[in-house]
Amino acid sequence: MERQERDSTATCRPAQTMTKLMRIFTDGGARGNPGPAGSGAYLLWLDEDGEVTGVAAEVSKYIGETTNNQAEYMAIVFGLQKARELGATHVDMVMDSELAMKQLNGVYKVKNAELAKRYLQVHELKKHFKKVSFRHVRREYNKEADRLVNQAIDRGV
C-alpha cells in the first residue's frame, strides 16, 4: 500500500535561546474502525513564557487501513519525529485522545499488542528531548490537528 503524505515546515524560527520549546497538537482518525486512517500533528514554537511565537510545521499523513487508536499513536510519533528534526528540546504534547494520554502518563496499562509497539516507539523518541509532557484537551481545542487528519484521509482514499 502506497502512503501519501504532506509535510510542510514554515520559515518561522524559534526564539534564540538554549531551550527550544514546542507545543504539538496531535490527532488521528479512521473512517470506520478500522478503516482508511490518517494522522496529523500541528507544531508550534513557544517562547520562555509558553506563548506561541509561530507555526513550526504541519504533518499530515495517510496511514492506510487501521484503527482510531493506532492513528492517534502514529500522530504522536510523527509529531515527535518532526520536533526532533527541528531541534526542539522541550515538548508539550496536546491531544484529544484521553486513552493515549493516560497510557503515556502511566495511568492506564497498554493491553493491546499493536498499541504497545507504538507506545514503546513514543518512549524511545522521548529520550531525544529534555522534557516531554502529555496532556488532554477536548476535541474543539484540537481543530488544527483534526484538519490535518481529514486532509490525509481525503488524499489517501
In tens, the pLDDT along 28-50 reads 999 999 999 999 999 999 999 99
**pLDDT of 3:** 46
Delimit the domains of the chain by residue range.
Answer: 5-156
Q: How is 120-152 classified by DSSP, letter by letter?
A: HHHHHHHTTSSEEEEEE--GGG-HHHHHHHHHH
Cα four-point dihedral sign 94, 142, 147, 154: positive
Query: Residue 105 has what DSSP assignment?
Result: T
Can you name the residues that pair with 37 across neighbouring β-strands? Answer: 30, 64
**pLDDT of 5:** 53
**pLDDT of 96:** 97
**pLDDT of 19:** 79
**pLDDT of 8:** 52
Q: Which residues of the chain have pLDDT under 50?
A: 1-4, 10-11, 15, 17
Superfamily of domain 5-156: Ribonuclease H-like superfamily/Ribonuclease H (3.30.420.10)
**pLDDT of 22:** 98
